[in-house]
Amino acid sequence: MNIILFGPPGAGKGTQAEIICQKLNIPTVSTGAVLREAMKNGTPTGLKAKQYVEAGELVPDAVVTAIIKDRLSEPDCANGYILDGFPRTIPQAEALDAMGVKIDAVLSIELSDEEIVNRLSNRRLCGVCGASYHLLYNPTKDNVHCDKCGGELITRKDDDPKVVMNRLDTYHSQTEPLKAFYNAKGLVKTVSGSDTIPEITRHILAELGT
């Protein structure tokens, strides 16, 4: 099953992808996570991406499309995958079509801008394994270290409120039009992002018929 998790920044795509990929036993491919890792390691891709990510703008289509093409050709993607954060523009969706990828479902997680700003201000990431937490709604045992690997929790630079506003503008102008693109193919299934994390997982799995 090839699934796209779609939605605004902070809607819960990464959180749900992490849970659902274990339930369905398929990998998650997150362009945001790949870019953050590349930035951390100072690779050529990371250096190209840094200015865009930190400003809350989209990395050029050619850069992210190349990442996806490489990643989807790896053996663990042979039985399906969850795409988190890709595609984000119509040209990216067209590039996916041109790769011969058949999408089975686009799960759109819906959340208001106001709730997004509130959620992202309390998000923390593990600086080592990248696991995502929330100080109030999805805390670790001590809200200082990661429950999975013990790494220290950090705040993402692009969760600065000014950058979040820019990410929301970018989402509404460049990414939201993709909903119509996939609606025309009859693939979009909508779930509310304001329910609890387990409730959203249940709704997604029900929409997928699993």
Between 26 and 158, name the residue whose CB sits nearer to ligand AP5: 158
88 is catalytic: yes
At its nearest, how many Å lie between ligand AP5 and the CB of residue 25? 20
The answer to whether residue 168 forms part of the interface with ligand AP5 (CB under 6 A) is no
Is there binding between residue 45 and ligand AP5 (CB under 6 A)?
no
Residue tagged active-site, from 36, 88, 119, 124: 88
Among 156, 157, 179, 189, which one carries the catalytic annotation? 156
The least distance separating ligand AP5 from the CB of residue 208, rounded to whole angstroms, comes to: 18
Q: How far is the CB of 81 from ligand AP5 (least distance, A)?
A: 14
130 is a contact residue toward ligand AP5 (CB under 6 A): no
Indicate which single residue of 59, 82, 96, 188 sits in contact with ligand AP5 (rule: CB under 6 A): 59
**Contact flag: residue 88 with ligand AP5 (CB under 6 A):** yes
Q: CA-based angle 167:52:148, to the nearest 5?
A: 75
CB of 152 to ligand AP5, least distance (A): 16
For residue 96, which amino acid is it? Answer: L
Q: Is residue 13 annotated as part of the catalytic site, yes or no?
A: yes
One of 13, 105, 182, 191 touching ligand AP5 (CB under 6 A): 13
Q: What is the 3-state secondary structure (H, E, C) of the chain?
A: CEEEEECCCCCCHHHHHHHHHHHHCCCEEEHHHHHHHHHHHCCHHHHHHHHHHHHCCCCCHHHHHHHHHHHHCCHHHCCCEEEECCCCCHHHHHHHHHCCCCCCEEEEEECCHHHHHHHHHCEEEECCCCCEEECCCECCCCCCECCCCCCEEECCHHHCHHHHHHHHHHHHHHHCCHHHHHHCCCCEEEEECCCCHHHHHHHHHHHHCC
Contact (Cβ atoms closer than 8 angstroms) between residue 168 and residue 11: no
Write out the two tokens for 106: 């686009």
Interface with ligand AP5, residue 52, by CB under 6 A: yes
Residues found near ligand AP5 in the complex (CB under 6 A): 7, 9-15, 31-32, 35, 52-53, 56-59, 64, 85-86, 88, 92, 119, 123, 132-134, 137-138, 158, 167, 196-197, 200
Query: Catalytic amino acids?
Result: 13, 88, 123, 156, 167
